[in-house]
Structure 1
Amino acid sequence: MLPVDPSPARADLRFLLIDDHPAVRQGLNLLLESHGYTPGVEAATRADAKGCLEQATFDLALLDLSLADGSGLDLLADLAEHGVRILVYSMHEDPGTIDRALRCGANGYVTKREDPSVLLEGIEGVLRGERFVSERAGSSLDETAGARAMDPLFLLSDQERAIFSAVGRGESNMDVAGSLGISPRTVETYLARMVNKLGLSNVRTLRKFAINWRE
């Protein structure tokens, strides 16, 4: 792969590389540099990534879904709220995970078993504002319809499912916040997102649905 002369537009773009394997992050930076991009800021955990978001702005995040301190799916909302485009780069190839990632805010999905040229194509497509799903990931998506019909909670992240279960047990926002180590306001934000994802009318309806739900 021959290096490409950096252009001002490419050199000015800022990347956030979120992966718990140093070798993967190094490989991503080598790929970026070889095509004229500035090396990205590296984050190994969700906590690291959130810290980076508080300190700088980014154009694109390359996000792994298996991190040492939890699922990368729970970072999607934080990244989107900071105006960062998101390309998931993951070993996970099951249709449920791919579908959840795309429906929860990812702008694209590439599996780690694909050629680096596919990843580069995804990076450039997402930076142009396009949705990019690699051929390998896209071939799995039509398998999700049955799973979604069987499980209305299919679209919820792990954190949202935990809150949903707590609400179903009759816990108050304060109780949920205390048990999960988050603020009551954050609980309210999650509840509002779940109302939208599940197509419900309001939080009261969500609470009733959660109480009647049997996982």
Structure 2
Amino acid sequence: MTSQKNAARVILIDDHPAVRQGMRMLLDTRNHQVIAEAGSCSEALELLDKEKYDVAMLDLSLHERSGLELLPELEKRVIAAVVYTMHEEPSIIDRAFREGALGYVTKREEPEILLDAIDTVMQGKRYISPYSAKALQEKNSESQNLEDSLSDRERQIFDLVGKGISNAEIAEELNISPRTVETHLTRMVSKLEFENRRELRKYAICLAAQE
């Protein structure tokens, strides 16, 4: 059990009252004190400067705006943000940490994981829950497998495709002909087992967005 000395002053930011109630009961088992609750970004912003908080438990799927937009505001006020969400996409996890989150926990985790996250961020350390870490590991493994299967030239073209530029622009960038670009794309479609170049392009852009 957390001592009173190490107990966190918490603001809960989630648009589901039942979820907030459950979180409040869970946090109470370690003597953490819920100081305020908010159901939206605008409501949270009104509350942030009214009290002193150590930790913010933040959902990302709020009504009028994404919770990601709150992360810089929390970081600016030196409030340790623990994202508690259903989202397990690597791109969202990466962005949350870039925007200032200190912890990331999915709603599939056991309750103890959420409590461990609070204890960890209270020490100023980053916390990544097991499901979140697995998602990031799978993304890294996928990227490594991709690099292993493509030639150096194909990898160059793939990276440029991920930037959303046209075949003609890729050809100019690499000083090769557009036909050569098309040949490499056809080979990559076969190697990576896509149905067509359009699917390859969508995948390249999606992967680039996660980096």
Shorter-chain TM-score range: 0.5 to 0.7
The 1:151/1:130 distance shift into structure 2, 3 A limit, reads: farther
CA root-mean-square deviation:
1.9
Misfit runs of 4+, over 6 Å? none
CA distance in 1, matches of 2:163, 2:76: 27
Contact 1:10 1:38 in 2 (8 A): no
> Counterpart of 1:67 in 2: which secondary structure?
coil
> Counterpart of 1:39 in 2: which secondary structure?
strand
* Structure 1, gaps ≥5 residues long: 153-215
Give, in angstroms, the shift of residue 7 of structure 1. 3.1
Match of 2:108 among 99, 110, 113: 113
The one-letter amino acid paired with 1:83 is V
Within 5 Å, give how 1:66-215 maps onto structure 2.
66-142=61-137, 143=139, 150=162
Q: Scaled by the length of structure 1, what TM-score is found?
A: 0.63
> Counterpart of 1:83 in 2: which secondary structure?
coil
CA distance in 2, matches of 1:31, 1:40: 14
Select the structure of larger CA radius of gyration.
Answer: 2
Aligned length: 145
> Counterpart of 1:119 in 2: which secondary structure?
helix
CA distance in 2, matches of 1:30, 1:125: 19
Matching residue of 1:22: 17
Aligned residues with identical type, % of pairs: 43
* Structure 2, gaps ≥5 residues long: 144-158, 165-211
The one-letter amino acid paired with 1:8 is Q
| Cα shift readout 1:180-212 (whole Å, capped 9, x = no counterpart) | xxxxxxxxxxxxxxxxxxxxxxxxxxxxxxxxx
Give, in angstroms, the shift of residue 74 of structure 1. 0.3
Matching residue of 1:168: none
